[in-house]
């Protein structure tokens, strides 16, 4: 692990949020595994972002009910364009300007959803990762336990990522596509323990080296998703993770062994069921919001026992 790069305070952003907005459960998801890229307390979140060539660290908290304040730290000259780019990234990552009231009205009519809705009121999808970063994470989630996913993620970040220090915290920062395009398959396999995923990760890097991953608010999301699925290693599950997280499609729901059982229990009253049966029930209950509905159930289940707890 290299010495941390010290970041200097360069900006303060004040971002309007659309009500209902739940700061805590939007920025911190109890189900998310440890990456070292972020840290959360009861009322504050710290997170790193790659903004163009810059390494940035952001400290976020609510200034008042309708305003999220972000203190920005960076490792170089901070231009107006960087401010705009980070503002767009934060707004998109956390869906700050989205109106989820239609989903709430719909979900309130479904009895098994009332408790998650009450506990997580105002929570929305979150994806501080850009398209490239979430693609890497979803690749590591394939057919692996969370412990093994965490191990692979740790290897990649420690070998190709960065370490930064800002506001008294030390966090890891993601690598860019360009920073891993030169790494060969054998290295990913043997040094980073990626297994068969070593065959695919290079394709991801090549794709995003030529398709700017910061352009998450793509002009044509359907076209982006179609193009994305031509990458070897991206199947229905991985594509749904991208659609649901980075593209913020509230209907996209990636069913895996883990959430399939959780949703089967909640909505069908059985320990497990075929994926298409679970999906059909989600569509019957939450047309257009299958993914967001699933998120409420999943995060509620992990609320009492978070994978990564809040710090003091």
* Residues of this chain that bind DNA (CB under 7 A): 31-33, 138, 141-148, 151, 189-190, 193, 195-196, 231-239, 241, 256-258, 307
By three-state DSSP, how is residue 8 classified?
A: strand
Residue 19 CA to residue 34 CA, distance in Å, equals: 29
C-beta of 106 vs 151, nearer to DNA: 151
Quickly count: other Cβ atoms within 10 Å of residue 68's Cβ. 23
* Least separation in angstroms between CB 186 and DNA: 11
* Least separation in angstroms between CB 104 and DNA: 23
Structure-derived torsion over alpha carbons of residues 210, 228, 83, 175, reported in degrees to the nearest 10: -70
* Least separation in angstroms between CB 28 and DNA: 13
C-beta of 51 vs 295, nearer to DNA: 295
> In the beta sheet, which residues pair with residue 4?
none
* Least separation in angstroms between CB 148 and DNA: 5
C-beta of 85 vs 199, nearer to DNA: 199
Q: Are 103 and 250 within 8 A, CB to CB?
A: yes
- DSSP strand pairing (54-64 vs 5-6): unpaired
* Least separation in angstroms between CB 35 and DNA: 11
- As given in the structure block, the two tokens for residue 261 are 């059982």
> In sequence order, which residues have a C-beta less than 8 Å from that of residue 302 and are 6 or more positions away?
29, 30, 31
* Least separation in angstroms between CB 250 and DNA: 16
C-beta of 18 vs 32, nearer to DNA: 32
CB half-sphere exposure, 40, CA atoms < 13 A = 18
C-beta of 72 vs 152, nearer to DNA: 152
Check residue 31 and report its DSSP letter.
T
Q: Are 202 and 106 within 8 A, CB to CB?
A: no
C-beta of 89 vs 197, nearer to DNA: 197
């Amino acid at each position: 692990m290299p010495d941390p790069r010290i970041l200097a305070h360069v900006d303060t952003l004040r971002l309007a949020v659309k009500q209902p907005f739940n700061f805590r459960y939007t920025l911190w998801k109890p189900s998310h595994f440890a990456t070292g890229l972020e840290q959360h307390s009861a009322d504050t979140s710290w997170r790193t972002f790659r903004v163009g060539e810059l390494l940035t660290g952001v400290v976020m908290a609510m200034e008042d009910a309708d305003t999220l304040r972000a203190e920005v730290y960076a490792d170089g000259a901070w231009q107006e364009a960087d401010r705009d780019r980070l503002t767009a990234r934060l707004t998109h990552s956390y869906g700050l300007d989205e109106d989820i009231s239609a989903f709430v009205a719909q979900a309130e009519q479904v009895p098994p959803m009332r408790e998650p809705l009450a506990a997580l009121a105002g929570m929305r999808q979150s994806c501080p990762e850009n398209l490239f970063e979430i693609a890497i994470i979803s690749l590591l989630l394939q057919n692996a336990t969370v412990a093994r996913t965490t191990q692979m993620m740790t290897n990649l970040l420690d070998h190709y990522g960065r370490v930064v220090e800002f506001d008294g915290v030390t966090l890891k920062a993601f690598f860019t596509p360009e920073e891993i395009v030169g790494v060969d398959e054998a290295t990913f396999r043997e040094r980073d323990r990626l297994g068969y995923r070593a065959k695919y990760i290079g394709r991801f890097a090549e794709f995003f080296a030529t398709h700017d991953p910061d352009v998450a608010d793509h002009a044509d999301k359907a076209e982006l998703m179609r193009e994305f699925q031509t990458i070897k290693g991206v199947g229905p599950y991985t594509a749904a993770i991208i659609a649901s997280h980075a593209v913020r499609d509230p209907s996209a729901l990636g069913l895996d062994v883990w959430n399939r059982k959780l949703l089967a229990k909640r909505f069908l009253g059985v320990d497990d069921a075929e994926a298409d049966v679970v999906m059909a029930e989600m569509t019957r209950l939450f047309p257009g919001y299958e993914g967001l509905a699933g998120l409420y159930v999943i995060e509620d289940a992990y609320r009492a026992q978070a994978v990564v707890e809040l710090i003091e």
